[in-house]
C-alpha cells in the first residue's frame, strides 16, 4: 500500500509539471493579448474564463449517459505509472441546445474547415458537437454527422446543468438564444468561449495563437 501511494504521488507530481505550464500559458495568453503582445494592436477575440472552469462542468456524456471526461485529478488517479500517461488534445466543443438548423450546420461545417487548416497541428485538436437540448437529437442529424463529419465526436448534456455549472464559475451564457464554442486545454481547463457573434476566423485566430504558444497537447 505504501509503495502504491508513493507511486501515485510521484505520478501526480510528474503530471503537475505538465499541468502548470498550460495553466500559466492561459494567464500569459490573457496578459499578452490584452497588451498587444502577440503583435500589432490585436487582442483575443473570444471571452477568456479566469479562473478556468473544469471540463466536468460541461457534463458531457455519451449516447448512453456515461460521462466522457473526468477531472484531471480523477484521471491521474486511474494511472499506475507515468508511462501510462498520454498527452491529450485540445478540445473545441460546439454547444447547441436546439435542433441543428441551417445556421448550426453551417457552424459545424466551418469549424471542420478551420480544423483542416491547422495543418501540422490538426492532431493536437479534437472537435465535439455537444447536444444540450432536452429533446433527443433528430436521427437525420445523427446520420448527417456520421456521414459528413466522422472525425467529430458527439456528446450530450443538459443545458440547465451546464449553464448552472458555468454560472458558478462566473460565466453567463444563454443557450436558449445562442450557441457557443468552447476551448478546453489538454488538462481539462475550459478557458475560452465564443458566441454566435464570433466568426470562424475569430476562433481560428485565437486557436492558432494558443497552439503556437503551448508546448503541450
Q: Which pLDDT score, from 0 to 100, does residue 201 have?
A: 96
CA–CA distance, 77 with 9 (Å, rounded to integer)? 10
Q: Which pLDDT score, from 0 to 100, does residue 145 have?
A: 97
What are the pLDDT digits (tens) for 64-99?
Answer: 999 999 988 888 788 777 777 788 899 999 999 999
- The percent of residues in the chain predicted with pLDDT above 70, rounded, is 79
CA–CA distance, 91 with 186 (Å, rounded to integer)? 8
Q: Which of 184, 202, 197 is nearest to 49 (CA)?
A: 184
CA–CA distance, 44 with 26 (Å, rounded to integer)? 12
Q: Averaged over 97-114, what is the pLDDT?
A: 96
Q: Which pLDDT score, from 0 to 100, does residue 44 have?
A: 84
Q: What range defines the domain where residue 54 resides? A: 2-213
CATH number at residue 197: 3.40.30.10
**Distance set, CA 111 to CA 106, 118, 128, 131 (Å):** 9, 11, 10, 16
Residues forming a β-bridge with 181: 94, 194
**Residue of 37 and 50 predicted with greater confidence:** 50
| Number of structural domains the chain divides into | 1
Q: Averaged over 11-35, what is the pLDDT?
A: 50
Question: What pTM, to 2 d.p., does this model score?
Answer: 0.84
Q: Which pLDDT score, from 0 to 100, does residue 15 have?
A: 55
**196 Cβ contact list (under 8 Å, min separation 6):** 103, 178, 179, 180
Amino acid at each position: 500500500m505504501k509503495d502504491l501511494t508513493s507511486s501515485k504521488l510521484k505520478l501526480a507530481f510528474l503530471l503537475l509539471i505538465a499541468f502548470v505550464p498550460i495553466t500559466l500559458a492561459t494567464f500569459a495568453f490573457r496578459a499578452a493579448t490584452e497588451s498587444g503582445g502577440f503583435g500589432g494592436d490585436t487582442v483575443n477575440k473570444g471571452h477568456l474564463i479566469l479562473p478556468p472552469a473544469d471540463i466536468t462542468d460541461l457534463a458531457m456524456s455519451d449516447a448512453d449517459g456515461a460521462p466522457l471526461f473526468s477531472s484531471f485529478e480523477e484521471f491521474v488517479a486511474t494511472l499506475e505509472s507515468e508511462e501510462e500517461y498520454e498527452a491529450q488534445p485540445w478540445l473545441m466543443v460546439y454547444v447547441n441546445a436546439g435542433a441543428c438548423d441551417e445556421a448550426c450546420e453551417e457552424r459545424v461545417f466551418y469549424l471542420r474547415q478551420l480544423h483542416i487548416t491547422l495543418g501540422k497541428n490538426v492532431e493536437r485538436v479534437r472537435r465535439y458537437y455537444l447536444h444540450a437540448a432536452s429533446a433527443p437529437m433528430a436521427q437525420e442529424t445523427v446520420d448527417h454527422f456520421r456521414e459528413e463529419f466522422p472525425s467529430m465526436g458527439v456528446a450530450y448534456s443538459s443545458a440547465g446543468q451546464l449553464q448552472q455549472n458555468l454560472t458558478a464559475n462566473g460565466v453567463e451564457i444563454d443557450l436558449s438564444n445562442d450557441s457557443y464554442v468552447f476551448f478546453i486545454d489538454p488538462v481539462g481547463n475550459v478557458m475560452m468561449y465564443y458566441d454566435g457573434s464570433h466568426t470562424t476566423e475569430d476562433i481560428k485566430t485565437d486557436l492558432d495563437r494558443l497552439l503556437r504558444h503551448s508546448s503541450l497537447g
